[in-house]
Amino acid sequence: MTLADIATVDALWEMSALRRAPAPTPVERRAGLVLLRELAGGEPVSVEEFARSLDASVGIAEDLVKASRLTRSILTSEAGRIYGFMGLSVSETPHRMIVDGRALWTWCAYDTLFLPALLDRTAQVETHDPATGQDIYLTVSPRRVEAVDPAAAVASIVRPEAWDVASAACVIASACHHMFFHVSRATGERWRLEHPETILLSLEEAFEFGQRSNAHRFGFRSGFDRLMDHQTSCQSDRSPPISIIRT
């Protein structure tokens, strides 16, 4: 990326509604990454399963799901099982990621750019251009967009200041329904003219914007294991382990 590209991303992040939202606490950050890892198994996650993964009580897991800074990013079924979190879904959408041989989905195309870093896995992404219907394929690692076909593909995102981040349903309605990849800037411009709330970014710019989001929400730009190591090394200066906290 050029310095101009970085300046563009910095300016977008500064005005972002997500930047103004309260960041998770260290305990919530760890729990959020655990939840993403569980959903990456490809099945909905019960509160009991979440609690076991955290080595915490069911009551603590329930509080994290229903009454924490993670709550606004969680989708649950009527039965109370978690099927979506922070852009990752085990229910089918138009945007598919193959991670460790498993099919996962995302709320919008943009989500496929920041989730690999949080999962610490490389993803094979399959989506489509909403204007032409043409398929678009990416390989996204935790550190970069490794490959894209067609090579001229770009991303559209809703202007970040317009995202409603009050809940997962709100962010899906206000942003995700309009955020796609396009086979070329020309088809992206057609989409933008029909949806003036959107802007076009290169895939590299959109990827870098996602890393700003990861840093804000999780405090570390690398994947799951490195963030967990970082938190463990700092634990004496932070909150007690999840197993003895009730939020």
pLDDT value for 227: 46
Q: Structure tokens of 56?
A: 């915490």
pLDDT of residue 246 exceeding 50: no
pLDDT value for 8: 86
pLDDT value for 7: 85
pLDDT value for 195: 96
Is 164 part of the annotated catalytic residue set? Answer: no
pLDDT of residue 230 exceeding 60: no
pLDDT value for 3: 57
pLDDT value for 164: 96
Is 176 part of the annotated catalytic residue set? Answer: yes
Is the Cβ–Cβ distance between 119 and 227 less than 8 Å? no
Mean pLDDT, range 196-223, rounded to an integer: 88
**Residues 223, 212: Cα–Cα separation, whole Å:** 14
pLDDT value for 1: 59
Average pLDDT, the chain: 89
Is 234 part of the annotated catalytic residue set? Answer: no
Q: Which of 108, 120, 225, 234 is catalytic?
A: 108
Tens-place pLDDT, residues 177-193: 999 999 999 999 999 99
Q: Distance between terminal CA atoms of the chain?
A: 41
- pLDDT tier at 247, thresholds 50, 70, 90: very low
Q: Which of 111, 120, 129, 234 is catalytic?
A: 111
Three-state secondary structure string covering the chain: CCHHHHHHHHHHHHCCHHHHCCCCCHHHHHHHHHHHHHHCCCCCECHHHHHHHHCCCHHHHHHHHHCCCCHHHEEECCCCCEEEECCEECCCCCEEEEECCEEEEECCCCHHHHHHHHHCCCEEEEEECCCCCCEEEEEECCCCEEEEECCCCEEEEECHHHCCCCCHHHHHHHCHHHCCEECCHHHHHHHHHHCCCEEEEEHHHHHHHHHHHHHHHHCCCCCHHHHHHHHHHCHHHCCCCHHHCCC
Q: Which of 63, 120, 129, 176 is catalytic?
A: 176
Tens-place pLDDT, residues 150-180: 999 999 999 999 999 999 999 999 999 999 9
% of the chain with per-residue pLDDT over 90:
84
- Of residues 59 and 243, the one with the higher pLDDT is 59
Tens-place pLDDT, residues 19-45: 999 999 999 999 999 999 999 999 999
Three-state secondary structure string covering 168-212: HHHHHHHCHHHCCEECCHHHHHHHHHHCCCEEEEEHHHHHHHHHH
pLDDT value for 219: 86
Tens-place pLDDT, residues 37-79: 999 999 999 999 999 999 999 999 999 999 999 999 999 999 9
- Of residues 146 and 2, the one with the higher pLDDT is 146
Residue 122: C-alpha distances to residues 17, 45, 101 (Å)? 28, 22, 11
Phi-psi region of 5 (alpha: psi -120 to 50; beta: other; left: phi over 0): alpha
Tens-place pLDDT, residues 106-127: 999 999 999 999 999 999 999 9
Place of tokens 């593909």: 153
Closest listed residue to residue 71, CA positions, set 107, 94, 47 = 47
**Residues 128, 109: Cα–Cα separation, whole Å:** 9
pLDDT of residue 85 exceeding 60: yes
